[in-house]
Amino acid sequence: MLKQRLQQAELKAKKRERIDLEVIEKEMRKADERKLLIISQRSKNRARFSQINNENYLHLVYCEYMTGAEKSIFTELIVLTELGTNAIIHPVKGKFCTITEISQLLKRELRSVRRLITPLIEKGLVYEFVDPSEIKEYGRVMTERPLYVNPEIAYSGDRNRVNAVLARQVMNYDHIEKKKVYLPWKLAYEPHDEYARLVERKEGRTKKHKMK
């Protein structure tokens, strides 16, 4: 008897949850007559995440490309990257992080952060965007420089839809490649593409640095 009641209650619940397609079609026809657009709402997962490219990161470790301190702060910076741009963004203020703000968020000494980020930029693990007009007018950068994590090492977003502006910056100023460190996965981008993507490098150059 109890089992029968539970089954009836379950059927009633499913009936309430069932979408009446006839009613929806009727409402859509009304909206169409009034030239209104009905958009289905999708719930968004607001969890922020970033993905490390395991092969590329291990390749850098094998090549001893970073010091222990540089590895530590680099992996911490990844949690501050913005989805789709890889920019280092303040999670509360929603704007580019200053060096001071990075030190506060990561609970590190300001002097230490300044000292460690400089080699990360020089090694191509972090990029900074500079306004060339400021250098032309003042001889140096006057405003805060936005920082971005190299998407070949870690990317916050779809690896087949890498931000094109950032990708061009990395490809044009490939500091890692200039130091004869050949990563297994590289950015690929065609002039008319909307996005860049990560592709596996053909066998050859990586062979000399292949992990044992």
- Regions in the chain scoring below 70 on pLDDT: 1-25, 27-28, 31-50, 130-144, 203-212
Chain segment 68-81, per-residue pLDDT in tens: 999 999 999 999 99
pLDDT tens digit sequence for 104-141: 999 999 999 999 999 999 999 999 976 544 444 444 44
The Cα 189–Cα 186 span in angstroms is 10
pTM for this model (two decimals): 0.70
- Assigned token pair, 14: 């499913």
What pLDDT score does 145 carry?
75
61 alpha-carbon distance from chain centroid: 21
SS (H, E, C) 188-203: ECCCCCCEEEEEECCC
The pLDDT of residue 20 is 56
CA 206 to chain CA mean position, Å? 25
CA–CA separation, 85 and 128 (whole Å): 13
**What is each CA distance from 195 to 53, 135, 168, in whole angstroms?**
18, 29, 10
Q: What is the pLDDT of residue 147?
A: 94
